[in-house]
Amino acid sequence: MTFKEIVKQSNMTIKEVAQRFDIPYRTAQNWNSEQRSCAPYILKMMCEILKIPYVD
Protein backbone atom coordinates (compact mmCIF):
# COMPACT_ATOMS: atom_id res chain seq x y z
CA MET A 1 0.00 0.00 0.00
CA THR A 2 1.23 3.48 -0.79
CA PHE A 3 0.62 6.82 0.85
CA LYS A 4 -1.41 7.86 -2.19
CA GLU A 5 -3.72 4.85 -1.72
CA ILE A 6 -4.16 5.65 1.96
CA VAL A 7 -5.13 9.24 1.12
CA LYS A 8 -7.64 8.01 -1.46
CA GLN A 9 -9.19 5.37 0.82
CA SER A 10 -9.39 7.74 3.77
CA ASN A 11 -11.55 10.21 1.83
CA MET A 12 -9.33 13.02 3.10
CA THR A 13 -7.08 15.44 1.30
CA ILE A 14 -3.29 15.24 1.50
CA LYS A 15 -3.39 18.27 3.79
CA GLU A 16 -5.94 16.66 6.11
CA VAL A 17 -3.91 13.45 6.38
CA ALA A 18 -0.75 15.46 7.05
CA GLN A 19 -2.48 17.42 9.80
CA ARG A 20 -4.03 14.28 11.34
CA PHE A 21 -0.63 12.62 11.67
CA ASP A 22 1.41 15.78 12.29
CA ILE A 23 3.45 15.27 9.11
CA PRO A 24 4.89 18.32 7.33
CA TYR A 25 2.69 19.10 4.32
CA ARG A 26 5.65 19.10 1.92
CA THR A 27 6.66 15.63 3.12
CA ALA A 28 3.11 14.37 2.51
CA GLN A 29 3.17 15.91 -0.98
CA ASN A 30 6.47 14.15 -1.74
CA TRP A 31 5.08 10.82 -0.54
CA ASN A 32 1.89 11.33 -2.54
CA SER A 33 3.76 12.16 -5.76
CA GLU A 34 6.15 9.27 -5.05
CA GLN A 35 9.20 11.56 -5.16
CA ARG A 36 10.05 10.02 -1.79
CA SER A 37 8.83 6.85 -0.17
CA CYS A 38 7.21 6.54 3.20
CA ALA A 39 8.54 3.92 5.61
CA PRO A 40 6.32 0.81 5.64
CA TYR A 41 5.84 0.96 9.43
CA ILE A 42 4.36 4.46 9.07
CA LEU A 43 1.95 3.28 6.37
CA LYS A 44 0.88 0.35 8.58
CA MET A 45 0.33 2.68 11.53
CA MET A 46 -1.78 5.04 9.41
CA CYS A 47 -3.90 2.16 8.16
CA GLU A 48 -4.44 0.88 11.68
CA ILE A 49 -5.53 4.28 12.97
CA LEU A 50 -7.75 4.99 9.95
CA LYS A 51 -9.22 1.45 10.02
CA ILE A 52 -8.02 0.74 6.47
CA PRO A 53 -6.87 -2.83 5.69
CA TYR A 54 -3.13 -2.82 5.04
CA VAL A 55 -2.19 -4.69 1.87
CA ASP A 56 1.49 -5.50 1.55
Give pLDDT, residue 3.
97
Phi, psi (degrees; rounded to nearest 5) at 41? -65, -30
pLDDT digits (tens, 9 = 90+) for 12-26: 999 999 999 999 999
- Return the DSSP state at 47: H
Q: How far is CA 12 from CA 3, 41, 55, in A?
A: 12, 20, 19
Q: What is the pTM of this model?
A: 0.89
Exposure string over 8-45, b if 16+ CB within 10 A, otherwise e: eebeeebeebbeeeebeeeebeebbeeeeebeeeebee
